[in-house]
Chains A and B, each alone.
Chain A
């Protein structure tokens, strides 16, 4: 990147939303509902600049074609080196920038109506923008320290937004849970960074990769560091076993859920693995961990989503499951497919949440069994959700198909049949649960008065939904494999490529598009939709009977495999016990020490208090005694003083005797 002007444009991408945050925090009370226009202006300019960066990196703008890279020293450690703040935009980062800005823009448009009349409207927009800014900063980061800085900012913003309605105790708890659970991952990530830094002397991704290649770090230490970094990603991306925060995070306003699930926060974990891919590929163990955690999470979250009644929770578990796919894709070496799924997922998952938000806006309920028959009342929402659902299920030729099929197919072609089976089963589950939600909410007869009176949401909400619906269909068309036979280039695979080093290390060959695998996954997905149709549209009573018949399984799934109960019984209880123990130590030992000193002083004072009898003569006696004592100390050699003391003692004895 040559000119200062260009550098400024790149820097402005995260700086503008951050600036909007400052403006809204300072003038939010004055702006009130007008805050949305400031915010939308800021993020729109960021989007334009991001598109510029994308075009530049893609080589469409003259002079481009190379990754954008520059940095400035940030923290000078003296002999320890320098931590720098900088920018690294390659294909991956450029795509993420555009996705984040775009989804954020859509959600901010939508929120204007959804959050109308909220007490903290401007504050909501302020944090939304800080969230966007932090995610953009994270995407741009060329080194671990900068990434970690923004990583934590993302965590704080999600805490603030999930707890936006902090008057509700459940929202407060959910916000704390989200923050604490992701913190576990963050701590692991930080330890990983420290290991890298202490062994290689650098925190830049490129330098660490090079150092590892040169053998400065290797063996179990290297694997441990990589796995620790991955645990950070697990926490942020809500993978097993740290997935428990994401469904609870549904307590936040629905546009926030859309933002968290589509573009910011959970995408950060997958992005981290993709960003540090050159490091990951050097540890086959770590890659295997990534793949199996991803595959297992995809399957596990899919089963949890089957029985949920809360429409937002179904979509939340779906996110966990889809993130599992991305991790699986990255872990088995299909880097492009994993990132491609991240990119497609952003659009259809944002849309799903916006649809759910639209329903909630219309009838103020999350429970899909209180809905029903909304198809006629809310046609735009219905069709948008169907499109998003088809994309999520991976039905040809919707966007989700291209990325999901690529991941499933490469699992098969890498001969990882266990992962392939998991992925394929998840395809079925995904199609089933999302169409279960759609059928229950939109078809049949209205189940409540609210559903009967529901009306379509205003244009400012349906507008972004329609745009996202369009993208849910076509976003995948930029990455259609060339071997599919269409006369379109596979832009995505040309643009977002793993480094040559990663490709060589993994030793992967390009796989031609497999028609039978694609057909199989579509068939499985259609089967899932069909089962959902049979159970919830044709014979709704059958699903209830099934739930009763397999009641233990149903409860097991409905309670999210009892993960919350398990963590509650182990970690939470242990933490409580530790808290009580420290509290007891503080109260009894430290408090007792301090209080004891105080009580001792008071008791001494109480004893001395008796000396102050109020009688003048006692005081006079003390004065005399004191004078004599001083006299004895000063002139002990004078026997006369001793005599005087004896005399005074006699007088005092008399005096006290007489008084008593």
Chain B
């Protein structure tokens, strides 16, 4: 392997080295925030579901990162992430069925128009 200049080597090392825990957490938090923002402001129920999915995955990323960086936890975080994925799948199945039923009865998936529970 040819000797590379030390500065370039440093950058490469930095790029190839496994990122720090904070990096994973920041990415997870950003994913969660985007998901939350989308879930709160978008009107289309399907998009809201996608955003919820994004939130879940942000959390999953955090869990997995912690599992990797905290060896004493014995991979508990990873197994927890698997559980979350399974539940998310079920949730999507139910949620999409509801969205479908709403669409059939109201011909819309706009959540602003589905306010029959208004007090």
A: which residues have CB within 8 A of B? 609-617, 620-621, 624, 647-648, 651-652, 654-655, 658-659
A616 and B118 contact, CB distance less than 8 A: no
Task: Render B82-119 as a binary contact track against A, CB cut-off 8 A, 1 for contact.
Answer: 00000000000000000000000000000110111111
Q: Chain B: interface secondary structure? A: helix
Chain A residues near B114 (CB, 8 Å)? 614-616
Task: Render B54-67 as a binary contact track against A, CB cut-off 8 A, 1 for contact.
Answer: 00000000000000
Q: Which residue of A609, A617, A647 contacts B111 across the interface (Cβ within 8 Å)?
A: A617
A610 to B118, CA, bound (A): 8
Chain B residues near A651 (CB, 8 Å)? 33, 36-37, 40
B33 and A655 contact, CB distance less than 8 A: no
A615 and B40 contact, CB distance less than 8 A: no
Chain A residues near B115 (CB, 8 Å)? 613-615
Q: Is B81 an interface residue (CB 8 A)?
A: no
B118 and A624 contact, CB distance less than 8 A: no
Nearest neighbor of B116 in chain A, beta-carbon distance: A614
Task: Render B37-64 as a binary contact track against A, CB cut-off 8 A, 1 for contact.
Answer: 1011100000010000000000000000
Given contacts A647-B33, A651-B33, contact A617 B39 (CB under 8 A): yes
A614 and B117 contact, CB distance less than 8 A: yes
Chain A residues near B48 (CB, 8 Å)? 616-617
| Min CB gap A236→B, angstroms | 66
Chain A residues near B36 (CB, 8 Å)? 624, 648, 651
A106 to B111, CA, bound (A): 92
Q: Which residue of B40, B116, B117 contacts A617 across the interface (Cβ within 8 Å)?
A: B40
Nearest neighbor of B112 in chain A, beta-carbon distance: A615
Nearest neighbor of B43 in chain A, beta-carbon distance: A617
The 6 closest A-B pairs by CB, nearest first: A614-B115, A612-B119, A614-B118, A614-B117, A655-B40, A609-B119
A652 and B40 contact, CB distance less than 8 A: yes
| Min CB gap B89→A, angstroms | 20
B41 and A655 contact, CB distance less than 8 A: yes
Given contacts A612-B119, A614-B119, contact A621 B33 (CB under 8 A): no
A358 to B90, CA, bound (A): 97
Chain A residues near B111 (CB, 8 Å)? 615-617
Chain B residues near A611 (CB, 8 Å)? 119
| Min CB gap A646→B, angstroms | 12
B39 and A654 contact, CB distance less than 8 A: no
A654 and B119 contact, CB distance less than 8 A: no
Given contacts A615-B111, A615-B112, A624-B36, contact A654 B41 (CB under 8 A): yes
Nearest neighbor of B42 in chain A, beta-carbon distance: A617
A40 to B103, CA, bound (A): 89
A621 to B48, CA, bound (A): 13
B: which residues have CB within 8 A of A? 33, 36-37, 39-41, 48, 111-112, 114-119
Chain B residues near A609 (CB, 8 Å)? 119
Can you report 15 A-B residue pairs in the complex whose CB atoms are below 8 A from each other?
A: A612-B118, A614-B114, A614-B118, A615-B111, A615-B114, A617-B40, A620-B39, A620-B40, A621-B40, A624-B40, A648-B36, A651-B33, A654-B37, A655-B41, A659-B41
Chain B residues near A655 (CB, 8 Å)? 37, 40-41
A611 to B118, CA, bound (A): 9
Nearest neighbor of B119 in chain A, beta-carbon distance: A612
A613 and B118 contact, CB distance less than 8 A: yes
Nearest neighbor of A613 in chain B, beta-carbon distance: B118
| Min CB gap B58→A, angstroms | 13
| Min CB gap B25→A, angstroms | 10
A659 to B118, CA, bound (A): 16
B117 and A612 contact, CB distance less than 8 A: yes
| Min CB gap B111→A, angstroms | 6
| Min CB gap A437→B, angstroms | 79
B39 and A658 contact, CB distance less than 8 A: no
A647 to B26, CA, bound (A): 14
Chain B residues near A648 (CB, 8 Å)? 36
Nearest neighbor of A651 in chain B, beta-carbon distance: B37
| Min CB gap B44→A, angstroms | 11
Nearest neighbor of A609 in chain B, beta-carbon distance: B119
- Starting from the known contacts A609-B119, A654-B37, 7 additional A-B residue pairs (CB-CB under 8 Å) come to A615-B115, A617-B41, A647-B33, A651-B33, A651-B40, A659-B41, A659-B112
A612 to B115, CA, bound (A): 10
A654 to B34, CA, bound (A): 12
Nearest neighbor of B40 in chain A, beta-carbon distance: A655
Chain A residues near B118 (CB, 8 Å)? 612-614
| Min CB gap A604→B, angstroms | 13
Chain B residues near A624 (CB, 8 Å)? 36, 40
A658 to B116, CA, bound (A): 21
Chain B residues near A614 (CB, 8 Å)? 114-119
A624 to B38, CA, bound (A): 13
A658 and B119 contact, CB distance less than 8 A: no
**Which of B111, B112, B119 lies at the interface centre, i.e. has the most chain A CB atoms within 10 A of its CB?**
B119
| Min CB gap A112→B, angstroms | 72
**Which of A613, A616, A624, A647 lies at the interface centre, i.e. has the most chain B CB atoms within 10 A of its CB?**
A616
Chain A residues near B39 (CB, 8 Å)? 617, 620
Chain A residues near B119 (CB, 8 Å)? 609-614
Chain B residues near A621 (CB, 8 Å)? 40
Chain A residues near B40 (CB, 8 Å)? 617, 620-621, 624, 651-652, 654-655
A614 to B117, CA, bound (A): 4
| Min CB gap A626→B, angstroms | 14
Given contacts A612-B117, A612-B118, A616-B111, contact A658 B41 (CB under 8 A): yes
A608 to B88, CA, bound (A): 32
| Min CB gap B21→A, angstroms | 14
| Min CB gap B115→A, angstroms | 3
| Min CB gap A647→B, angstroms | 6
| Min CB gap A615→B, angstroms | 5
Chain A residues near B116 (CB, 8 Å)? 614
A654 to B40, CA, bound (A): 9
Chain B residues near A659 (CB, 8 Å)? 41, 112
| Min CB gap B96→A, angstroms | 15
A614 to B111, CA, bound (A): 10
Nearest neighbor of B34 in chain A, beta-carbon distance: A651
A609 to B118, CA, bound (A): 8
| Min CB gap B72→A, angstroms | 22
A613 to B118, CA, bound (A): 5
Chain A residues near B112 (CB, 8 Å)? 615, 659
A10 to B84, CA, bound (A): 94
Chain B residues near A658 (CB, 8 Å)? 41
A624 to B41, CA, bound (A): 13
A617 to B41, CA, bound (A): 8
| Min CB gap B32→A, angstroms | 10
Nearest neighbor of B29 in chain A, beta-carbon distance: A644
Nearest neighbor of A624 in chain B, beta-carbon distance: B36
Chain B residues near A617 (CB, 8 Å)? 39-41, 48, 111
